[in-house]
Structure 1
């Protein structure tokens, strides 16, 4: 699997656990996602650079989002517009 795809899948898993407030301590979190603590912090840093308001809540023993955010990566089909109805699609 391509390196970027692996990283996106890892970010998706991190996002899921943060939303569930189920990361545990940094050590537990790294174990849950199957990476070193250093890599886990590196991925959180990348997510923060992308605008994720990630904080660690000591009382919950979990990383959390300080604000409600969404994350989506990938392609999806948009609703058709009249201009797109007449476009010819070539398949290879």
Structure 2
């Protein structure tokens, strides 16, 4: 599998666990995902660079989002307008 796709899948999994407030400690999460703690922090930093407001809540013992956000990556069907067919028009 492509490295980029693996990274996206990892982000999707972390996002799912964050939404459930079920990541556990960084050590627990890294173990659950079968990655190193270093890779976990690199991935979370990547998420932050993509504007994910990820923080660790000591009380909940879980990573959480500071505010409601959505994450979606991939291609989807879009209805085309005439101007979409020729980028030089319009």
TM over 0.5: yes
CA distance in 1, matches of 2:82, 2:49: 36
Which residue number in structure 1 is paired with residue 82 of structure 2? 83
User: Structure 1 residue 39 and structure 2 residue 39: aligned?
Assistant: yes
User: Structure 1 residue 52 and structure 2 residue 17: aligned?
Assistant: no
Which residue number in structure 2 is paired with residue 4 of structure 1? 4
Question: How far does residue 70 in structure 1 lie from its aligned partner after superposition?
Answer: 0.4
Runs of 4+ residues deviating >4 angstroms: none
Unaligned runs of 5+ in 1: 88-92
Q: How many correspondences in the alignment?
A: 84
TM-score, reference length from structure 1:
0.85
Give the CA RMSD over aligned residues: 1.4
CA distance in 2, matches of 1:36, 1:69: 26
CA distance in 2, matches of 1:65, 1:29: 16
